């Protein structure tokens, strides 16, 4: 068995290590906003004065192993939203009703936590069947202004929680 990475493999490893170093995960210096190394030891904790994460849940008594949203400074990171009704049941009817409900749930979570759809900067879309992408897009585009779509990734999966067809999460800027 040949264990040599080859030129392409070595390049990938170098790029990966360089990327991790930029995030302070591979022993390199953490990088500030302008890309310059910050002062202090490479393994130091968050910079003094850096905002602490706020873990936000609509139900303060939830036992779920995740938060509805996490706010750090002016950024809001949402957990995935499914097409669940107010009773926590998956709406019937397939991809289109689930997509509508998931987008309404996303909108509600954003608004409850100081943001809105017009402040979303990126989304992650998970589909139980990637062939449902166009049906989802028909719903999704109604929630954003033309030419003001967030950055987005779409991934086809081998299954979603409780048999859902769609799950969407996002990152947004909190209102001033």
pLDDT digits (tens, 9 = 90+) for 132-175: 999 999 999 999 988 999 999 999 999 999 999 999 999 999 98
Q: What is the pLDDT of residue 137?
A: 97
- Per DSSP, the residues of 134-161 read HHHHHHHGGGS-TT-PPEEEEEE-S--G
Return the domain boundaries, the chain: 1-48, 54-173
- Kindly tell me the burial class for residue 169, based on how many C-beta atoms sit within 10 Å of its own C-beta (0-12, 13-18, 19 or more): middle
Q: What is the pLDDT of residues 74-130, one digit of tens each?
A: 999 999 999 999 999 999 999 999 999 999 999 999 999 999 999 999 999 999 999
- Rounded to an integer, what is the distance from CA 43 to the centroid of its chain? 26
Q: At what angle do helices 133-140 and 95-112 cross, to 10 degrees?
A: 40
Q: Which of 25-34, 49-58, 71-80, 111-120 has the lowest mean pLDDT?
A: 25-34
Half-sphere exposure of 11 (CA within 13 A, CB side): 3
Are 140 and 148 in contact by the 8 Å Cβ rule? The answer is no
What's the CATH class of domain 54-173? alpha beta
How far apart are the C-alpha atoms of 79 and 88, rounded to whole Å?
15
- Span of 33-37, 51-55, 56-60, 129-133 with lowest mean pLDDT: 33-37
Lowest mean pLDDT among 2-16, 31-45, 82-96, 105-119: 2-16
* Residue that is written with structure tokens 């509805």 in the block: 68
Q: How high is the pLDDT of residue 19? A: 40
Give the Cα separation of 2 and 18 in Å (integer): 25
pLDDT at residue 46, as a whole number: 61
Rounded average pLDDT over 50-58? 92
């Amino acid at each position: 068995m040949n264990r040599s990475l080859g030129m392409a493999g070595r390049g990938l490893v170098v790029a990966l290590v360089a990327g991790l170093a930029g995030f302070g995960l591979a022993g390199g210096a953490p990088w500030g906003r302008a890309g310059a190394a910050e002062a202090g030891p490479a393994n130091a904790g968050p910079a003094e004065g850096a905002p602490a994460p706020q873990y936000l849940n609509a139900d303060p008594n939830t036992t779920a192993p995740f938060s509805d949203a996490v706010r750090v400074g002016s950024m809001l990171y949402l957990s995935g939203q499914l097409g669940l009704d107010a009773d926590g049941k998956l709406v019937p009817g397939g991809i289109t009703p689930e997509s509508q409900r998931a987008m309404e749930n996303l909108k509600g979570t954003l608004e409850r936590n100081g943001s809105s759809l017009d402040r979303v900067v990126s989304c992650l879309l998970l589909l139980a069947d990637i062939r449902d992408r166009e049906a989802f897009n028909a719903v999704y585009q109604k929630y954003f202004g033309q030419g003001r779509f967030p950055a987005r990734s779409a991934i086809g999966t081998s299954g979603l929680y409780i048999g859902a067809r769609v799950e969407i999460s996002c990152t947004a800027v909190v209102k001033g």
